[in-house]
Amino acid sequence: MRMLLIHSDYLEYEVKDKALKNPEPIREEQKKGRLEEVLAAFISVEKVDETNPDEVVKKAVNEIKDVASHIKAKNVFVYPFAHLSSELAKPDVALEILKKIEERLKEGDLNVKRAPFGYYKAFKLSCKGHPLAELSRTIVPSGEAKAE
């Protein structure tokens, strides 16, 4: 899994079109979304994650919580983003993993949204620019060497 973490004044998105034949079904109110003072987690789920989804979910949640507490962000946006890797996991596996990350984060005291999966989306972001405002993380199941 590859994550790009951006601390932003806000993140807003608008669903434009289907990017998969069968995108995640969404309600009207999910076609647009916005959070203020947010840690945006742009996530590419990778093939290697299919070997142990539960472990990568746990590691991703820990990383996101750790960064959120350091930058004192109470809002997190889980954002499916297929552009951080050339070895993407299958969509059905990726969606399940992203849903689990959202659920686990919600168990804590963070306010969490997840952007819809399987769509082209317009989005606006306002990176804060402090030293911890732009971070990336590579997460793999243990026992898997990550080819650089």
Task: Enumerate binding residues for ligand A3T (CB under 6 A).
Answer: 19-20, 43-45, 80-83, 88-89, 91, 94, 117-121
DSSP readout, the chain? -EEEEEEEEEEEEEEEEESSSSPPP--GGGSEEEEEEEEEEEEE-BGGGGG-HHHHHHHHHHHHHHHHHHHT--EEEEEE-TTS-SSBPPHHHHHHHHHHHHHHHHHTT-EEEEPPSSEEEEEEEEE--STTSEEEEE---TT-----
Nearest distance, CB of residue 83 and ligand A3T, angstroms? 6
Nearest distance, CB of residue 91 and ligand A3T, angstroms? 5
Nearest distance, CB of residue 104 and ligand A3T, angstroms? 17
Residue number with CB closer to ligand A3T (127 or 132): 127
Residue number with CB closer to ligand A3T (72 or 120): 120
Residue number with CB closer to ligand A3T (84 or 135): 84
Residue number with CB closer to ligand A3T (13 or 72): 13
Nearest distance, CB of residue 56 and ligand A3T, angstroms? 12
